[in-house]
Structure 1
């Protein structure tokens, strides 16, 4: 009998753009690279509710986020349990919303908009390249994307 599979971690994030179509990323203080604003889904919480909560906690913004995920990705690292990622469309942030961003300074040191063409590993670390590519696909086709990514 095969052992039971490890329970996946679950994370949820929001995709916000600016007037040029660039994607908002945040810089965590506890790991290399940049991420979408978001984080872990708590027990008993839906991925959408987690996304709204995390955006409020990390950016200080209360915004509408689409209830349908843009990207859903099952990521299987070589050295750990799988992880399920959900990315939800947050829309274009106005200049007023951008000015209202207040980072959760215990977790984040910076925020910035990056073009979808960004491939710099200092910005998009190798562990997130597959997710970033899925996001590119979803943005360019305006269709939800599902990926299974083995690292």
Structure 2
């Protein structure tokens, strides 16, 4: 009986922990089918992406109704937490946002007001970094860099 009570208590704590994480909106999830829209919001459409080798992808999304860009780095194979980041920067307004830490599935979201502006964005998974400069604007040619650090 004591073992059953202890197992029930552990189960309750686990449910509360999972529920608490969902309620407070943790930035990383172990869900296997994470999408840019799941991270940024349903109204955000993917406008650009950059592979982080075979480890995952950094996504740039845009919401036409509010003029915001959002960035998320999503792992191809969620698992043990590793160092990850996602960032988006608007040089013209000097506004930036991002997320950085050890995550199991994704880093982000990061939101900036991007309507009518070029943006720079990127992220990393483990030791592989991707950056995209002068993206999504007609005036400048986009420049992509992938490097191991």
TM over 0.5: no
Name the structure where strand makes up a greater proportion of residues: 2
Higher relative contact order (CA 8 A, sep 6+): 1
User: Which TM-score band (shorter chain)?
Assistant: under 0.3
TM-score scaled to structure 1, two decimals? 0.27
Larger Rg: 2
